[in-house]
Amino acid sequence: MPANTAAIDALKVALKIEDEGRRFYRQAARKSENSLTKRLFTNLAGQELVHKKVFQEVHDKMCAGETCPVLSLPQGEAAKGRTIFASAMKDLGAAVKSSTSEQDAIDLALEKEIKSRDFYAGQAQRADDPVEKSFYNTMAGEEQGHYLQLTDYREYLINPAGYFVMKERHSLDGA
């Protein structure tokens, strides 16, 4: 019999969040006409699947009466995604085109990532077990990473030239 029903209930919510996020990103990738946007959404869908598998493992162990196991996410997936997109954006330069629907999808994705991050951060604050607290803080950090990746990409789509000035911090004074 599971000892911590509140923790298990929170894990069920987390599983739903990750599943819905994955479905959203897959659908957004299918609808996207921009190859870079398609890659971004496909990459994020893959990361949501990794998160779901981790939550499922924790859920299953806690339902079996175990405490929250010490788990770690595969290292480098989010960083690899950021590197791929930074390189691709640099290669494309200012020659990017996106539709309003793609920008709307990015805005919706940003909202979803904020809600996910806040849910996980809240769970971390409520957790008494230090392992559980650390786990939820890690997941909140993952969602924050997604949010930052999407924010960067949104800025790039809106103003590609301005994005490079901001990111590369070139001097505009000619010196």
Query: Could you read off the pLDDT of 124-153 as tens digits, one per residue?
Result: 999 998 999 999 999 999 999 999 999 988
* Residues belonging to the chain: 175
Q: What is the mean pLDDT of the chain?
A: 82
Confidence (pTM): 0.81
What's the CATH number where 106 sits? 1.20.1260.10
- Sequence-separated (6 or more) residues with CB below 8 Å from residue 76: none
Distance CA 43, CA 82 (A): 10
27-31, 83-87, 92-96: which is most confident: 27-31
Residue in this structure with the two tokens 């809106």, named with its chain if needed: 158
The whole-number average pLDDT for the span 36-54 is 92
Structural domain count, the chain = 1
Label residue 155 by pLDDT band (50, 70, 90).
confident
Helix (H) or strand (E) holding 50: helix 35-63
The whole-number average pLDDT for the span 142-170 is 82
Range of the domain at 39: 5-168
Q: Write the DSSP symbol of residue 93.
A: T
173 domain-assigned: no
Residue in this structure with the two tokens 């793609």, named with its chain if needed: 102
